[in-house]
Amino acid sequence: MRVISGSKKGRLLKAVPGTGTRPTTDKVKEAIFSMIGPYFEGGQVLDLFAGTGALSIEALSRGMDNAVLTDIDRKSIDTIKRNLQITGFTEQAGIYCTDARRALKALVKREAKFDLVFLDPPYKIKLAQGLIEQLDQLGLLNPEATIVVEHAAEDVDQDQIGRLQWVRRSEYGDTAITIYKIGKEPIELAAT
């Protein structure tokens, strides 16, 4: 696992010990950023179920200003901290060891707003739609926000969740990536 592009291109990242975390493959990560970027002129990132922190680190490497990373697993939090140190992004990141719903409530109190959100919950636990609704209802999204959901390819996407419109879906084996944006029209369906 490595940083694919940007200011920290080529830096190797640590994996979470054990088998409880399913890291996003470099192929899928590269596809995600070709769909949503590939580079950014600043902005705030939220990474729920952050695992290794690789997606947020990639976003920071490609120009995002700051990231908030959450995970409920202590091993993941320790790995995120190591990966932020490896890449030099420690000062640009807030890390929280808590579940996603609690994290969102805490972020409301901090008056946080995000331009890019990564949702990669465990595939068997269908949390994405509820979390997208909560992000929108709690006012945590900036007007042009993008939400990237990594989920099982067999899952069916909702066309619209609150103010968020489905804009793209790509499949990579048993993994699918679905992109939502506030009030945008869908673009082509891509499958690989």
The pair of three-digit structure tokens given for residue 68, joined into one six-digit string: 């908030």
19 in a domain, yes or no? no
Look at residue 137 and tell me if it is in a domain. Answer: yes
Phi, psi of 28 (to 5 degrees): -70, -40
**Residue 99 located in a structural domain:** yes
CA dihedral angle for residue 168, residue 152, residue 96, residue 16, rounded to 10 degrees? -120
Cα–Cα distance for residue pair 10/8, rounded to 1 Å: 6
Dihedral angle over CA of 177, 183, 188, 189, nearest 10: 30
Residue 159 lies in a domain: yes
Model pLDDT, residue 191: 46
Distance CA 62, CA 29 (A): 12
Three-class SS of the chain: CECCCCCCCCCECCCCCCCCCCCCCHHHHHHHHHHHCCCCCCCEEEEECCCCCHHHHHHHHCCCCEEEEEECCHHHHHHHHHHHHHHCCHHHEEEEECCHHHHHHHHHHCCCCEEEEEECCCCCCCCHHHHHHHHHHCCCEEEEEEEEEEEECCCCCCCEECCEEEEEEEEECCEEEEEEEECCCCCCCCCC
How many folded domains does the chain comprise? 1
Q: Confirm whether 41 is domain-assigned.
A: yes
Look at residue 189 in the predicted model and tell me its pLDDT. 44
User: Does the residue 192 lie in any domain?
Assistant: no
111-146: pLDDT as tens digits: 999 999 999 988 777 788 999 999 999 999 999 999
> What parts of the chain have a pLDDT lower than 50?
188-192
Cis preceding linkage at 38, omega within 30: yes
Pick from 99, 107, 97: nearest CA to 44: 107
**125 lies in some domain:** yes
CATH number at residue 148: 3.40.50.150
CA distance 144 to 149: 16
pLDDT score recorded for residue 52 = 95
pLDDT at 20: 65
Predicted local distance difference test score (pLDDT) of residue 123: 77
Please state, in angstroms and rounded to a whole number, the distance separating the CA atoms of residues 33 and 146. 12
Domain containing 94: what range? 26-182
Residue 13 is assigned to a structural domain of this protein: no
